[in-house]
Chains A and B, each alone.
Chain A
């Protein structure tokens, strides 16, 4: 479940970055960055952040869970900002779908 929590935080940060016009423009061009769409991305991003927090707490408890959550955010953010946006922007959206799916699969199989 740890892997699922980390991958969901990756998707959360992806959604939050797409709520910003600069990164929306990076991926989909200027026209796509309408205020309505950006608001939708922002809601989705915060919802996913909350979900990944929940997963961390369920997995590691109230003491170590928040620590895990912050670590997950750090690693996701670094990957997005240093790796994907400058070097492989096309990979971001597919990874934001595929990674949580992978995380879910690993969680289910590891039971």
Chain B
């Protein structure tokens, strides 16, 4: 620890930032991609329908489909199509008696021991869509707090640790930044260390509200895991009771079904929910005991109008249409948490606000990346003086190349995998995730073997090429490419391809800067260069 308040804060900022920087970059990049989770999922399943129908028609077709597919089920859950996702997702819960016991030696891999079935249905036809097996954008969403290959619990503690360090780095960074207002717009280019410092400062200050919000609310999303003791003291026997009380949810229905009756048309039930909400949209519904006399339907409001992530729902008797229960109003603390959670997920954001969130997330990635690079740039002259690159700097250099230049390669490789892996392959979605980590592992390995400036340039160029060629690979392997999507005005799919081109261009520019960059000459170096030039000149004159 150094003397003086500001120095010790600077010390804390440097080391908290550096320690978690590389993992934080992965979390930031995957989290930023998650703003377009639905859009990525759509692009990664080009077989899905590209147009949709009215919610009432879709709901009716969903019911018809489920009556054939899962007539015995205890409950049906349907997510209605919306502009971001034109297909319908549904799952159902089978009765215990229908579940086959797992074969000898087979792991009970599926949640609920195989009691759930699921399907993706085209609302235009009411038929199941045979789309390729992929986790789509959900992979990035999970990756950014569950990581991969390691147990979820460890991963979440690790991510929480990074987030708390990030919070410390933000606060100490603001304290350390002496000229936060004077240098508000200041970026001095081509000045070595000065430029990196300016870049780090501006990218941090311009998006400071975003950085602070996303880090703090990120910790809030997992707060019951990081601070479980309050709940376990107040509800020593049944923690689930806390969650259904605190989050004002409707309780699950576990009474058995009785008798047979014909439910009201779904359209009528949805209409009464809309009337109750004064016109708010329906997002989906869960029907308990379909076909029974005591059938009950829970109708969920579509999120998107409110900041909070907790969306209201209504429970009706599906046969008589009587309103049974409404999700109770949440208390102040729950509402606060709901808003923070909602701010983190940004489900309320329309296309413009979503784009701003995405760009702010990218600025966050740049801030983290420039921070770890800044450490190496600052450290280098000390090593250059002694004539030998020390272990610490070499390690940081390798990790910097492998994370800052290597992660874009991994992201692009994941999309390549989605288009090029055989469609009928077993465990296809797992293989896609493996492609991501093979690519990243290779980039890291190369960076460790040769952590030099040209490695920066090569990896940035490789990332640029992979991103820029994604629209080409897409055109060669699917019928949902730019030639089709631009003409039909499908801006989600066209936007994805165009964004990939833009990322390719940006990475190529970074690669070019890295390749062309000349180290600033010391005074002695300048003199030597001038002398060499003069000599060359003299030699040329003699030759003439």
Contacts and interface: CB of A to CB of B under 8 A. Distances in A.
Interface of A: 2-3, 13, 16-17, 20, 22-23, 60, 63-64, 67-68, 70-75, 77-78, 80-82, 85-87
B210 A78 contact: no
A81 B363 CA distance: 13
Contacts of A81: 184-187, 202, 206
A78 B203 contact: yes
Contacts of B182: 20, 22
Nearest to A83: B187
Interface stretch (B352-360, B378-386, B417-425, B532-540): B352-360
B337 interface: no
A87 B187 CA distance: 10
21 contacts: A20-B185, A23-B185, A63-B348, A64-B353, A67-B307, A67-B353, A68-B352, A68-B353, A71-B357, A71-B360, A74-B210, A74-B360, A74-B363, A75-B360, A77-B184, A77-B205, A78-B363, A82-B187, A82-B199, A86-B189, A87-B189
B368 interface: no
Q: Is the interface of B mostly helix, strand, loop or mixed?
A: helix
A60 B353 contact: yes
Contact of B210 (A3, A20, A70): A70
A109 B137 CA distance: 35
A75 to B, nearest CB: 6
A71 B208 CA distance: 10
Contacts of B428: none
B371 to A, nearest CB: 16
B186 A74 contact: no
Nearest to A79: B206
B356 A86 contact: no
Contact of B186 (A2, A22, A73, A78): A22
B206 A85 contact: no
Contacts of A86: 187-189
A86 B184 CA distance: 14
B202 A78 contact: yes
B209 A2 contact: no
A73 B206 CA distance: 7
B343 interface: yes
Closest 3 pairs (CB-CB, A-B): A71-B356, A77-B206, A86-B189
B353 A80 contact: no
B353 A17 contact: no
Contacts of A71: 210, 353, 356-357, 359-360
B359 A74 contact: yes
Contacts of A20: 182, 184-185
A36 to B, nearest CB: 20
Given A20-B182, A64-B307, A78-B206, A72 B356 contact: yes
A60 B352 CA distance: 11
Interface string B177-211: 00000101111110000000001001101110110
